[in-house]
Amino acid sequence: MTDPFSIMGVEPRFDLDHEELSRRHRELSKALHPDRYASAPAAERRMALSRAIEVNEALRVLRDPVRRAEALARRLGLQVGETGEPKASPALLMEMMEAREELANAGAKKDRAKLGSLHSTMKGREAKIVGRLATAFAETTTEVLPLLGELRYVRRFLDEVAALEEAAEGE
């Protein structure tokens, strides 16, 4: 995929204005709508459809803090991905292991209150990391990759909580 910031025509920054992003998406979607190309040659219709798909994917990337951070890191020439990023700190790994043990216990007991508490705690942590990422991208690149890695751990944890909450509700 080409650069999602360029596709959407927005400034490449982590702390995007989501209303502006939505406005740009509406404008581009309107301009690329199939009805506008109904009488155009087939090649032009295919190109508009392809561009519309790119716009929709760019929106998905820019709405997701992890994918947005990855796109910005790539723009800065940083290698993104498990092979290029620094290893997680032992402290973070220990914290996540302990949190996962708590999660496993709450899930086994179908303890909705504990699952909700774990969810709230990690959502708060996610918000703090996102804020720190915005600062890191604005000021320095040295903190970006470790924060991105931490955000990935937190997001995976939140996905696991959501699955356990859904399973607990189903019973």
Single-letter amino acid code for the residue at 39: S
Residue with tokens 């496993």: 104
CA gap 79, 114 in Å, rounded: 38
Phi then psi dihedrals of residue 77, to 5 deg: 85, 15
Q: Is 3.40.50.1970 the CATH number for 90-170?
A: no
pLDDT tens for the chain, residues 1 to 171: 689 999 999 999 999 999 999 999 999 999 999 888 989 999 999 999 999 999 999 999 999 999 999 999 999 988 888 777 888 899 999 999 999 999 999 999 999 999 999 999 999 999 999 999 999 999 977 889 999 999 999 999 999 999 999 888 876
Beta carbons within 10 angstroms of residue 71's beta carbon: 20
> What residue segments make up the domains of the chain, in order of their start?
4-63, 90-170
Superfamily of 4-63 according to CATH? DnaJ domain (1.10.287.110)
Does the fold of domain 90-170 match that of domain 4-63? no
Six token digits for residue 49: 């459809």
CA gap 133, 68 in Å, rounded: 11
pLDDT digits (tens, 9 = 90+) for 72-120: 999 998 888 877 788 889 999 999 999 999 999 999 999 999 999 999 9
Single-letter amino acid code for the residue at 19: E
